[in-house]
Copies of this chain bind each other. A is one copy, B any other.
Amino acid sequence: MTILSEYKSFGGVQTIYEHRSEACDCDMKVGVFKPDGVEDDTPALIWLSGMTCTEQNFITKAGAQRMAAKQGLVLITPDTSPRGDHVADDERPNVGQGAGFYLDATKMPWMKNFAMETYIRDELIFWMRQELPFINMGNIGISGHSMGGHGALTLHLKNPTIFKTCSAISPITAPSQTPWGQEAFKEYLGETPRLWTRYDATYLVAKQPSQAHILIDQGTSDNYIEQLKPRLFKEACQEAGQTLTLRMQEGYDHSYYFVASFIEDHIYWHAKQLGQSQQRPVHQDYTCLQVA
Contact = CB atoms under 8 A, between A and B. Distances in A.
Contacts of A283: 249, 261
Contact of A61 (B60, B213, B272): B60
A16 B7 CA distance: 29
A178 interface: no
A43 to B, nearest CB: 14
Contacts of A249: 283
Interface stretch (A79-87, A115-123, A189-197, A284-292): A284-292
Interface residues of A, number: 42
Contacts of A61: 60-61
Interface of A: 7-11, 14, 60-61, 63, 65-66, 212-213, 215, 219, 221, 243, 245, 249, 251-253, 255-258, 260-262, 264-265, 268-269, 272-273, 283-284, 286, 289-292
20 contacts: A7-B257, A8-B221, A8-B257, A9-B257, A9-B261, A60-B60, A60-B61, A60-B256, A61-B61, A65-B260, A66-B261, A66-B264, A212-B292, A243-B292, A245-B289, A245-B290, A264-B284, A264-B286, A265-B289, A268-B286
